[in-house]
Structures are given as C-alpha cells and as structure tokens.
Amino acid sequence: MGHSQAEKAATHQRIVDVAARRFRELGLDGIGVADVMKEAGMTVGGFYKHFESRDDLVTEALGAAFKSLDVWEARAENLAQAVRDYLSEAHRDAPGKGCALGALLGDVGRSNEATRDVFTERVKHNLAFSEGLLKGSLGFGGEESAGASFLSIDGSAWSTDKDGIAAALLSAEIMASTLLVFAALLMLFAFLDRA
C-alpha cells in the first residue's frame, strides 16, 4: 500500500470512528455528514472520496460501533458480570463508547436495508452470546459487610442478613430492567426479520 493509500485508509477510519461515536451520542439523524467530516478534520467535499452515500457511512459506522460490544463480551465471564459491566456508571456515562444496540434501537427501524441487516446480525450474535452465559441459575447481588444479596434466574431474591433486603430488591429491579431490554431486542429482531 502506497503512502497516499495508507493516508486515505487512516482518514477513512477516522471518519468512521467519529461517526460511530457521534451516532451513539446523538442518534442516526442527530448529526449530519458535514459535522462528522468537520469533527474528523475534513471538509464535506471529501466525503464522497470515502463513501458512496450517507447510508454507507451509517452502515460502516454501526459495524465499528459494535466493536465496543466485542470488548464487553471478551470481559464477560458470566451473565452477572456482563450485566454489571453493562449497567455500570462508566458505561452509562460514556454513550459515545457504549452499546450501539441500545443507543440506536429506535433509529434502525427507519434505516436502509443494509443498516438493518448489520444491526440484525449483531442482535442475533448478542442473543447467542447471552444464551451461552445463561447456564442454569444466575447469581447477581450486592456484597455487604455482614453478608450478601442475590437474585436467581427465576426472579427470587434472597439475602444472607436482615439488612440485605434493600440490596436484594435493587438486584431484582436491575435484573427486571435488563430482562426488559433483552425482551425489546427480541421484539426488534422479530420485527426486522419480517421487514
């Protein structure tokens, strides 16, 4: 690869990375090509040297955004840890680096077929990954000085001390919210599969 080809590839990747971050922060319609190019240090005139259309950028940026999910999966030893990481303050407070599935769920249904296909494949991948983590029961809870609180896959909460019920209820609430997100993804998958 010649020097100019290497520079073009690096510029292309910079544009995709900016778009992947900003789409997660603002939504697919929240930022235009001109602003993406400006943030990437380029003029809007250079856009078509890298992409045939905005839809091509969206599709490629979505694929790049899913790389953060690959990192999340690589760290997950079990579903409880995966959920804790996903629901962490660090993940919540960095939407530009966070989950593209959750951030763009509402936008993708109105996107082009290629973008919906990329999104659908990732939903299938994540569902398979999550199913792999579900092996029997799930322990999720908070550790306390005098004990711990847990939540089982069947929804039952228990605690090892009298003061642990608050953490057990919090665990139940977190798990219920997480299960709702997974249910929403399943419904989206069914919708996209029919589209």
Q: Which domains does the chain have, with CATH numbers?
A: 1-132 (1.10.357.10), 136-195 (no CATH)
Where does the pLDDT of residue 171 fall: very low under 50, low under 70, confident under 90, or very high at 90 and above? low
Where does the pLDDT of residue 59 fall: very low under 50, low under 70, confident under 90, or very high at 90 and above? very high
pLDDT of 163 strictly over 70: no
Lowest mean pLDDT among 46-50, 51-55, 117-121, 159-163: 159-163
Q: How much is the pLDDT for 159?
A: 55
**In angstroms, what CA-CA distances link 169 with 136, 139, 149, 173?**
21, 13, 9, 6
Of 192 and 156, the structure prediction assigns the larger pLDDT to 192
Mean pLDDT of 58-85: 83
Whole-model pTM: value is: 0.66
Mean pLDDT of 2-23: 91
